[in-house]
């Protein structure tokens, strides 16, 4: 029986097919998975929580009472965008700029599309707008670049425009005016007018979302779209999260529900901007990779997550997550939230193999996916398209009787038939050869994408370890690793619930941002900034907001740590370069010089010392203040090593596996992961079967189980290939 005084940390990752749960206390962890119940997320959520309570032999209410932290990553907002089931919104903007979101930017045609879709220029279209043109109104007002009011806002005009939108069925309002990120006065006036005219007890909750609250940064189009996307998913998320929180409270849970953010932290649901939940699952996984790297003393990590539909890529340098995308694309819209950069491509176990007749009957894999329903053909749920999972099954890599721990039976005949019909037949080859080509093609595509992502950031992939997670990561890591050039692979024992594990490792953290153009070094006068207040006031305003918000979460000012990052550029450049500021505030000219030197050093690292040009002037354009509550890192319980030889009881059988066209099927040892002990080594070729994933150890690779239950897969071939 578990001690009732135990405090648990729980991470949850809601996926399209499964909701994953990870629960840890004192270095001991358990995990489970339940089908995601899209009709009501609380059903699958509570089912999984009850399973965790059962694993700890506790009554459900007792278990909930012992949870110290519950961290939740959700796809509710993303699904609302994909399904276009958000509310009907009205947009207030400055007169003359009503068409900004419809004109967009030159890149708007391609944002959110795959390379293949971009090439099909005859069919490419801009995305359907989230706000219809007739729901956009302009108001006569103007604030200039310095924040001075040029044309005052007229209350009567706002009332007339408001009534126009209400008559057309507006269920919420977005306000995005010119230069509001410098002076939000007019935006706040519009919000006050709306709330006074239509209070909540009259028309119900019709949220008013201001761009100066959601995205106080320059860039009219991206600032407006960020606010629109946030507003569009705000209502859907609010309904789902509130229902979930109410269910938890009814069952006895008294602590706040915290949501995972794509900026790399967690925060109470009630104080979360909805737009920050987009892509939170992969970001949680990336944090899990950093935590696992610390345990294994691996600080340069290439993070990859191969699921059913997508393949996610992230980078950890010297133990830190440094890559951010400050203008990420959400669905088809360019936004400007400071999200951690995790690249995704359409490659996974459910990716569909197809013949491209326009390219001379060339075979391609993805980006289309069979999804969860109907899924791959071998699932026997009506799938009619060949997928990567079908190919892996046909090649002998999966056991049709022991998939997902025996919870799902696979039909190898259906896999063979669909590959023969749609791939092998048109190409005039054997179905086995077709399956081999499918697997090699998806491996090559993933490997090349990873190599590009790492190399284009200026890194040598050979100096990194590859972390492969996700349900299909362990099955394909040896296949795509050679294209990257890595010699070592880390496959977590928690691979199939790694997003949930990562969520449990994350800290309370949020990023505040603000655009302010400040000349740190004046090129004309060749001197450093003298008026330090203009810089320090911008930082202090964000710091006060951070302290206010985190105090409302129950933390004291002494518990908060701050980090300041800046977007900077040389005076004549458009391109911005991000650096971490040496200090939070500037005290004297020496501090200004140190800041400029830090920028020049970072610029030299990226573009070479010859490209630096300090005499051209150095400007700060955007401030990013990260406020964190640092808590002790999670620990995993290590088990002493039993030595290199695997227990003979772990060997399940010999199974024919197709490794190479030259050799055909080869009898291959198959091991039970649950019966292996730390330190056990297995020389490839071999297959290791776990409940929720499969480790495929290719020839000339060696599998070693470490003290935390993770697989270290290393090449035994001499380096010098890719």
User: Which among 288, 385, 303 has a CA at the least distance from the CA of 344?
Assistant: 303
Residue 93 and residue 190: Cα distance in Å, rounded?
10
CA dihedral 444, 308, 695, 436 (to 10 degrees): -40
Mean pLDDT of 253-265: 86
Mean pLDDT over 401-419 rounds to 86
Place of tokens 């002494």: 558
In this structure, are 150 and 170 located in the same domain? yes
Q: Which pair of tokens denotes residue 243? A: 């229902």
Q: What would the pLDDT profile of 205-251 be if each residue is shown by its tens digit?
A: 578 999 999 999 888 999 999 999 999 888 778 878 888 888 888 88
Which tokens hold the place of 190? 């519009």
d(CA 478, CA 484): 11
Does residue 355 form part of some domain?
yes
Q: Which residues contact 133 (CB under 8 A, 6 or more apart)?
A: 98, 99, 102
Is 602 among the domain residues? yes
Residue with tokens 């004549």, as numbered in its chain: 572
Q: Is the pLDDT at 4 greater than 90, yes or no?
A: no
Per DSSP, the chain holds a count of helices (H) and strands (E) of: 19, 35
Residues 110 and 199 in one domain: yes
Assess whether 192 and 152 both reside in one domain: yes
Say whether both 341 and 418 belong to one domain: no
Give the pLDDT of residue 720: 42
Cβ partners under 8 Å of residue 343, min gap 6: 312, 313, 314, 449, 453
pLDDT at residue number 302: 96
Same domain, residue pair 709 and 666: yes
Q: Are residues 496 and 512 in the same domain?
A: no
Pick the last residue of a domain from 206, 233, 260.
Answer: 233
Task: Please list, in sequence order, all residues whose beta carbon lies within 8 angstroms of the beta carbon of residue 432, skipping any fewer than 6 positions away.
Answer: 394, 395, 658
Give me the percent of the chain exceeding a pLDDT of 90.
49
Q: How confident is the model at residue 422 (pLDDT cuts 50, 70, 90)?
A: very high
SS (H, E, C) 385-410: CCEHHHHHHHCCCCCCCCECCCCECC
For residues 131 and 209, membership in a common domain is answered with yes
Q: Which two tokens mark 493?
A: 């024992």
Domain total in the chain: 5
Residue 147 included in any domain: yes
Q: Which residue, 464, 483, 502, sits at the end of a domain?
A: 502
Whether 44 is covered by a domain: the verdict is no
For 276-315, how does the pLDDT look when each residue is reduced to its tens digit (9 = 90+)? 888 888 899 999 999 899 888 899 999 999 987 788 999 9
Q: Is residue 419 part of a domain?
A: yes
Per-residue pLDDT, 507: 83
**Quick check: helix, strand or coil at residue 227?**
helix
Q: Identify the weakest region by mean pLDDT among 188-192, 200-204, 367-371, 575-579.
A: 200-204
Phi first, then psi, for residue 248 (nearest 5°) are: -65, -45
DSSP per-residue letters across 148-159: -EEEPPPHHHHH
**253 within domain boundaries:** no
For residue range 482-529, what is the model confidence (pLDDT) as tens digits?
Answer: 999 999 999 998 888 898 999 988 888 888 999 999 999 998 888 999
Distances (CA, A) of 642 to 639, 645, 671: 9, 8, 16
Q: pLDDT by residue (tens digit) across 153-178?
A: 999 999 999 999 999 999 899 999 99
Do both 541 and 653 map to the same domain? no
Residues 123 and 222 in one domain: yes
Residue 207 forms beta bridges with which residues? none
Per-residue pLDDT tens digits for 604-651:
988 889 999 998 999 999 999 999 987 766 667 767 777 777 767 889
Residue 634: its pLDDT value, please?
61
* pLDDT given for residue 5 in this prediction: 58
Q: Going along 307-385, which residue ranges are E strands?
A: 311-316, 324-325, 329-330, 333-334, 339-340, 343-345, 351-356, 362-369
Answer whether residue 49 is part of any domain: no
486 and 550 co-located in one domain:
no
The structure tokens listed for 139 are 């108001």
- Is pTM beyond 0.75? Reply is yes
416 and 317 both lie in a single domain: no
148 lies in which domain range? 106-233
> 666 in a domain, yes or no?
yes
**Same-domain check for residues 428 and 480:** no
Contacts of 631 (CB under 8 A, 6+ apart): 507, 508
CA atoms within 13 A on the CB side of 566: 28
| pLDDT band (50, 70, 90) for residue 117 | confident
Q: Are 135 and 165 spatial neighbours (Cβ–Cβ below 8 Å)? A: yes
Identify the domain boundary among 439, 472, 491. Answer: 439
CA distance 540 to 56: 46
Distance CA(503)–CA(469), nearest Å, equals 14
């Amino acid at each position: 029986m578990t001690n009732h005084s135990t405090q648990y940390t729980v991470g949850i990752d809601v996926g399209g097919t499964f909701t994953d749960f990870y629960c840890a206390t004192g270095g001991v962890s358990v995990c489970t998975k339940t089908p995601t119940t899209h009709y009501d997320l609380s059903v699958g959520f509570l089912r999984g929580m009850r399973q965790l309570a059962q694993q700890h032999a506790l009554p459900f209410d007792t278990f909930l009472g012992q949870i110290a932290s519950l961290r939740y990553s959700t796809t509710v907002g993303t699904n609302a965008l994909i399904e276009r089931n958000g509310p009907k919104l009205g947009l207030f903007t400055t007169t003359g700029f009503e068409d900004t979101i419809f004109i967009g930017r030159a890149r708007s045609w391609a944002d959110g599309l795959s390379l293949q879709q971009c090439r099909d220029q005859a069919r490419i279209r801009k995305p359907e707008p989230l706000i219809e043109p007739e729901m956009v109104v302009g108001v006569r007002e103007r604030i200039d670049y310095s924040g001075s009011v040029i044309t005052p806002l007229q209350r009567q005009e706002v009332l007339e425009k408001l009534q126009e939108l209400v008559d057309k069925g507006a269920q919420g309002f977005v306000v995005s005016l010119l230069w509001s990120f410098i002076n939000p006065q007019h935006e706040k006036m519009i919000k006050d007018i709306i709330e006074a005219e239509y209070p909540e007890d009259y028309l119900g909750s019709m949220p008013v979302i201001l761009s100066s609250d959601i995205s106080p940064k320059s860039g009219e189009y991206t600032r407006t779209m960020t606010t629109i996307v946030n507003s569009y998913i705000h209502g859907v998320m609010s309904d789902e999260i509130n229902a979930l929180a109410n269910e938890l409270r009814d069952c006895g849970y008294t602590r706040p529900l915290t949501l995972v953010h794509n900026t790399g932290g967690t925060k109470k649901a009630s104080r979360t901007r909805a737009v920050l939940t987009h892509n939170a699952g992969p970001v949680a996984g990336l944090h899990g990779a950093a935590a696992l790297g610390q345990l294994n003393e691996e600080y340069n990590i290439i993070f990859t997550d191969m699921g059913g539909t997508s393949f996610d890529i992230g980078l950890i340098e010297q133990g830190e997550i440094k890559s951010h995308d400050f203008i990420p694309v959400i669905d088809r819209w360019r936004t400007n939230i400071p999200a951690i950069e995790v690249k995704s491509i359409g490659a996974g176990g459910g990716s569909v193999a197809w013949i491209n007749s326009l390219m001379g009957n060339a075979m391609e894999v993805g980006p289309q996916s069979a999804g969860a329903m109907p899924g791959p053909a071998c699932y026997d749920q009506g799938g009619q398209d060949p997928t990567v999972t079908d190919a892996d099954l046909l090649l002998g890599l999966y056991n049709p009787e022991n998939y997902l721990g025996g919870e799902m039976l696979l039909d190898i005949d259906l896999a063979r038939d669909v590959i023969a019909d749609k791939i092998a037949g048109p190409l005039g080859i054997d179905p086995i050869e077709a399956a081999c080509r499918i697997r090699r093609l998806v491996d090559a595509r993933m490997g090349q994408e990873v190599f590009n992502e790492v190399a284009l950031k200026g890194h040598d992939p050979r100096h990194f370890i590859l972390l492969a997670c996700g349900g299909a990561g362990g099955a394909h890591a040896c296949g795509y690793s050679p294209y990257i050039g890595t010699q070592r692979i880390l496959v977590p024992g928690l691979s199939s619930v790694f997003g949930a594990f990562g969520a449990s490792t994350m800290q309370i953290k949020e990023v505040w941002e603000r655009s302010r153009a400040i000349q740190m070094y004046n090129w004309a006068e060749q001197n450093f900034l003298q008026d330090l207040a203009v810089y320090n006031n911008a930082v202090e305003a964000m710091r006060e907001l951070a302290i206010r918000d985190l105090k409302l979460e129950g933390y004291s000012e002494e518990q908060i740590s701050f980090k300041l990052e800046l977007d900077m550029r040389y005076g004549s450049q458009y391109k911005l370069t991000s650096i971490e500021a040496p200090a939070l505030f500037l005290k004297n000219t020496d501090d200004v010089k140190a800041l400029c030197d830090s920028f020049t050093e970072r610029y030299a690292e990226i573009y070479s010392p010859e490209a630096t040009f300090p005499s051209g002037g150095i400007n700060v354009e955007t401030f990013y203040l990260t406020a964190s509550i640092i808590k002790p890192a999670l620990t995993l319980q290590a088990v002493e090593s039993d030595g290199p030889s695997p227990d003979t009881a772990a060997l399940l059988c010999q199974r024919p596996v197709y490794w190479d066209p030259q050799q055909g099927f080869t009898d291959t040892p198959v091991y039970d992961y649950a019966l292996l002990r730390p330190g056990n080594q297995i020389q490839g070729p071999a297959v290791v079967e776990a409940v929720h994933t499969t480790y495929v150890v290719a020839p000339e690779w060696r599998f070693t189980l470490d003290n935390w239950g993770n697989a270290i897969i290393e090449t035994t071939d001499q380096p010098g290939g890719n």
